[in-house]
Each structure stands twice: as C-alpha cells, then as structure tokens.
C-alpha cells in the first residue's frame, strides 16, 4: 500500500509539485518568522554581546534586562573590586539625552558612558574619546537619524532653524549641542543594531557627567572578569553574597533580557501573529491542494476498496502522502530560508536562524499537513466502492 500511495502521489506531477510548494511555503513562513524574531531578540542584548571580555555583569537587584535599568551608587564599584577572585571591574553608564543638530533638528540618543582610563565598553575607535568633549555616534539600527546640514550656511544660523535643507550623515568634526553644551563627533561607529532601534552616543564618564549633571547615581552596570581558575558562576555568586548586588553571568543576563522582552514587548505579539498567519496561509494552500489531490483520485481509492482494502489502509495511504509532502516540502522551505540567511548575512537585517527555527518550521507544516489529511480522508472513508462503475 505504501508503494501504491507513492505512485499515486507522483503520477500527477503538477498536483504534487503544487502540494510540495504549498507545504514548502508554510515551512518557509514559519521558519522565517522565528528567525526574524530571534534576530530581534539578539539585538535586545547587543550591549552584552559587544563586551565579550566581561564574563559577569553586576547591577541593581531590580534590573532584569539591558532595556529597563536603574543606577547604583559610586560606592558599588569599590565593593565589587574588593571581592576575591575579581581580575578587573569597570563601570558602564547609561542615560538618555536629546541632541540639537546644527540646523535646529533634535534627536534622542541612548548615551553610553565608559571609564576614562580603560574605555571598556566603547567601540573600536575608542581612543578618539580621549579628545576634549568628544563623542562617538552610532545609528543603532535606525536610518536617517544622524543627518547634519550639507552646507555651512545652514549650520548654527542666526536667523533661526533651517529644517528643510539638504543634509548628509554625521562625520568626524561635526558638532552637536546637548543640554546647551557642545560635543564634537570624533567617529561614527557600526556596532550591533539595537532593539528597539535607537541612535547611540558613546562618551567618557567625565564627559557623561558634564552632559547629564542632574544625576546623582551614574553607574548602571559593572562589567567584571574573574581571575584564572574561577568560573563566572562562582564569581557571580561571590559578588552577590559579599556586596548585596545582583551579579550574573553574561549568558544568564542575555536569557533574562530575552525573557523580559517576551513579557513586556508588544513586538512579541506581532511575531506570534506572524507565525499564526503563516500557518493559516499554509493550511489554506496545503489543505486545498491535498483535498483536491485526494478527491480527484477517489475512483482509484474506490478500486482499492472494492478489491478489499480496509478503511485503515486507505487512511494510511492518505497520511503517507501527506507525510511525504511534509518531508519534501519542509526541506524545500527551510532550505530556501537558509539560502536567504546567507544572502542577507552582510545586510543590516534582524535575521538569525537558530536551532529552534527549522524545528518549529517542520512542526508547523506537520500540524498543518496532519489537519489537512484528516479533512481530506473523509471523502475516502465515506465513498462507496460502486462509484468506480459510475460514468460521472
């Protein structure tokens, strides 16, 4: 019966190619949606990924992600450095500022302040931050947010703002105003894009305090690396026990950040809706194709039933055809998604195919195909063998 089911499936090439295409399209949509979601979540903990030398992150006990933070007192840095097993500990300062551009436009930035001495946490061009009043800007996954006037006559004009003038991207030497204080763009970096996207501004702690003088507590995170022979987990436990602060490994912090987004971000609901829509579209295409294929071969099933085939055997034939479609179609869909990942790897697109994306893609088409097969098998079970003698 298995061989007969396969021969029936392959006999009409147009229909089985359509069936494979429908299932492959479903697998592609589900895999793409999950990879798109994983790409966004990877950007959510970009701050941790950019600092691989830090194996332990220290923060206030109430902090569960890199997105929602509260600062600690300056004394916390000394407490962490005094813990046995700490090789180095350097602070990281996060804040939000609004910068005024030379033509009058303004833009919000996430400001990242780094230690003046080590510059840990800054991009590759960190040495430029040693220049007076200097900052490094980054698009942070945005587009068209870092525009300054193209012509000199439109910059810091005495006759007011020149908003609708030709612009260009910020570059070395350009100036901005933050809280009426001048900063100079020392470099434009290309770090990992953020989720949600937002422009970034890196500077030293001394400049950070000059730009945001109203803050009383500046330290948001302390990045720690342990001495040789001590594991990050042990070091994190020691820091938490001795300082009363929250200390977790980089891997654990990434997981906590993803969990925070899953609970608090509205974009997660959009991703779920995308997956549901993909499965509904796939169910429509696959269900219709499989039903048409089964119905148009109803006389062949009638002949088999007249020859003594049981309903169970006929049901197994329909499900065998559906399972073959699942294997072949999911392979096509996931394969196309893999090729797409390679083609956009260099582009600034939130796409990351992790191990669970192909698995969920396969499970998605399996659920869709089983449901479609259950609907398609009904005409086979209800038919009478006598229809094989019908002229219709």
Write out pLDDT tens, residues 211-263: 988 778 899 999 999 999 999 999 999 999 999 999 999 999 999 999 999 88
Q: In terms of domains, do 100 and 243 share one?
A: yes
Q: In terms of domains, do 72 and 84 share one?
A: yes
Would you tell me the crossing angle of helices 13-44 and 311-343 to the nearest 10 degrees? Answer: 50
Number of H helices, E strands in the chain: 11, 11
Q: In terms of domains, do 197 and 314 share one?
A: no
Q: In terms of domains, do 108 and 28 share one?
A: no
> pLDDT band for position 345 (50/70/90)?
low
Confidence (pTM): 0.80
168-187, pLDDT tens digit by residue?
999 999 999 999 999 999 99
- Burial class (CB within 10 angstroms; exposed 0-12, middle 13-18, buried 19+) of 390: exposed
Q: In terms of domains, do 96 and 166 share one?
A: yes
Residue ending a domain, choose from 214, 249, 264: 264
Q: What's the domain count of the chain?
A: 2
Residue ending a domain, choose from 229, 264, 299: 264
- In the chain the first and final C-alpha atoms are separated, in Å, by 26
Q: What is the pLDDT of residue 387?
A: 64
**DSSP structure class, residue 128:** G
349-368, pLDDT tens digit by residue?
777 888 888 888 888 788 87
Residue ending a domain, choose from 241, 264, 287: 264
Q: In terms of domains, do 231 and 287 share one?
A: no
Q: In terms of domains, do 161 and 258 share one?
A: yes
Q: In terms of domains, do 101 and 210 share one?
A: yes
Q: What does the chain come to in residues?
A: 392
Q: How far is CA 244 from the centre of its chain?
A: 33
Q: In terms of domains, do 238 and 347 share one?
A: no
Q: In terms of domains, do 96 and 182 share one?
A: yes
Mean of all residue pLDDT scores within the chain? 87
Q: In terms of domains, do 174 and 243 share one?
A: yes
Instruction: Check whether 15 has a pLDDT greater than 80.
Output: no
Q: Are 331 and 382 in contact (CB under 8 A)?
A: no
Q: Which domain holds residue 62?
A: 47-264
Q: In terms of domains, do 238 and 307 share one?
A: no
Instruction: Check whether 302 has a pLDDT greater than 60.
Output: yes
């Amino acid at each position: 019966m298995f061989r007969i089911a396969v021969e029936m499936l392959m006999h009409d090439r147009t229909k089985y190619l359509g069936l494979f295409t429908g299932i492959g399209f479903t697998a592609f949509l589900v895999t793409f949606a999950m990879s798109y979601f994983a790409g966004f979540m990877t950007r959510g903990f970009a701050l941790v990924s950019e600092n691989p030398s830090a194996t332990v992150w220290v923060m206030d006990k109430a902090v569960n992600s890199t997105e929602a933070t509260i600062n600690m007192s300056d004394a916390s840095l000394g407490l962490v450095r005094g813990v046995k097993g700490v090789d180095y500990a350097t602070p990281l300062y996060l804040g939000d500022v609004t910068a005024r551009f030379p033509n009058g436009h303004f833009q919000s930035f996430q400001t990242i302040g780094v230690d003046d001495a080590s510059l840990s946490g800054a991009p590759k061009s960190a040495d430029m931050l040693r220049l007076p009043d200097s900052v490094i800007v980054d698009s942070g996954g945005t587009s068209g947010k870092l525009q300054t006037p193209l012509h000199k006559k439109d910059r810091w004009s005495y006759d007011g703002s020149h908003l609708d003038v030709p612009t260009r991207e910020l570059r070395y030497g350009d100036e901005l105003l933050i809280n009426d204080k001048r900063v100079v763009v020392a470099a434009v970096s290309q770090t990992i894009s953020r989720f949600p996207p937002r422009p970034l501004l890196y500077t030293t702690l001394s400049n950070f305090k000059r730009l945001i003088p109203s803050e009383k507590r500046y330290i948001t995170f302390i990045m720690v690396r342990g001495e040789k022979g001590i594991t990050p987990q042990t070091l994190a436990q020691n820091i938490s026990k001795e300082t009363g602060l929250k200390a977790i490994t980089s891997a654990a912090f990434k997981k906590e950040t993803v969990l925070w987004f899953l609970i608090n971000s509205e974009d997660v609901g959009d991703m779920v809706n995308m997956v549901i829509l993909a499965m509904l579209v796939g169910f429509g295409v696959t269900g219709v194709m499989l039903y048409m294929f089964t119905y148009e071969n109803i006389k062949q099933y009638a002949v088999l039933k007249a020859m003594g085939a049981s309903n169970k055997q006929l049901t197994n034939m329909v499900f065998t055809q559906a399972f073959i479609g699942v294997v072949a179609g999911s392979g096509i869909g996931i394969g196309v998604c893999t090729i797409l990942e390679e083609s956009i790897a260099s582009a600034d697109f939130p796409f990351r195919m992790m191990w669970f994306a192909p698995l969920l893609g396969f499970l998605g088409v399996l659920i869709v195909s089983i449901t479609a097969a259950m609907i398609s098998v009904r005409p086979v079970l209800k038919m009478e063998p006598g229809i094989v003698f019908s002229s219709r």
